[in-house]
Amino acid sequence: MSAPTRTIHTPRAEDIERLPAAELAACFVIGDLFEPGEIRLALTDLDRFAVGGAVPEGELALPPCPEFGTRYFTERRELGILNIGAEGSVRVGGESFALAPLDCLYVGTGEEKVVFASGSSGQAVFYFLSCPAHAQFPTARATKAQAAAVELGDEAHASKRWIRKYIHPQGVRSCQLTMGYTELAPGSVWNTMPAHTHARRSEIYFYFGLEDGMVVHLLGRPDRTRHVIARNRQAVLSPPWSVHAGAGTRSYSFVWGMAGENQDFADMDAVNGADLR
């Protein structure tokens, strides 16, 4: 049995200026990823990223995806998983990896059996990203304490935040996926400001910890920006030509994941705030 799947096609940069708000959101915002007892999946045309959520009641095996044309999900793909719920585990092949809240697991290509499970303390909730992989790297866990942490921003600009990197060249190795999350300090609301683009890779944001709040997420060409409204546990697609930044109604966190030609986190094209339109 395959997971409930939908496919999202992103428009061209020159087309988004003409889209009404509802159509713009349909092209860039992914919601409804989490349903108890299910694995849900959205396929994109951004470096063939797949975005998913798993909420196991007992165990949930990651099924094959017919759209990949492979025998099993990770036959030619790699996978990054972050637990945003209570303690759980992921079994890969014959080995089980315990994942506390905000622990991450990388699953390399060629691992046929991937099974999600909740622990005894509550409901585990797994967010995951997948992209094609042409080289195999070992499955590896990284705890929140093991993530490489960088502090950016400041309180004066309401942008103080910590970037925690899990899957990256100096941490858990992968073929092309990079993944981590950013946590905003209490009272800070701006993410990824100053804004930037990176033409060599696509990115997906996944907002969580918003409760009943929202984020006004900027996208589009720097001189012709549009915006979408992102709510708790929703993902926003960011093509290589698009800026990606936002301001929330409260502090929050977001998972970032990138795939493309370059894994250098600092490889970006900065945009002067005075040039944003």
State the pLDDT at residue 1: 55
Give the residue ranges of DSSP H helices in the chain: 21-28
The CATH T-level fold of domain 5-275 is Jelly Rolls (2.60.120)
Do residues 157 and 192 lie in contact, with contact meaning Cβ atoms separated by under 8 Å?
no
State the pLDDT at residue 198: 87
State the pLDDT at residue 270: 84
Q: What is the dihedral of CA 34, 40, 45, 49, to 10 degrees?
A: 80
- State the CB neighbour count (10 A cutoff) for residue 240: 18
pTM of the shown model: 0.95
State the pLDDT at residue 2: 59
| Phi, psi (deg, nearest 5) at residue 27 | -85, -20
For the chain, how many residues are written?
Answer: 277
- State the CB neighbour count (10 A cutoff) for residue 268: 18
State the pLDDT at residue 31: 95
State the pLDDT at residue 262: 81
| Phi, psi (deg, nearest 5) at residue 69 | 65, 30
Domain spans of the chain? Answer: 5-275
| Phi, psi (deg, nearest 5) at residue 25 | -65, -40
State the pLDDT at residue 51: 98
- Residue 91 CA to residue 58 CA, distance in Å, equals 13
Tell me which residues of the chain have a pLDDT lower than 50.
none
Nearest CA-CA partner of 73 in 62, 82, 60: 62
State the pLDDT at residue 213: 97
State the pLDDT at residue 4: 67
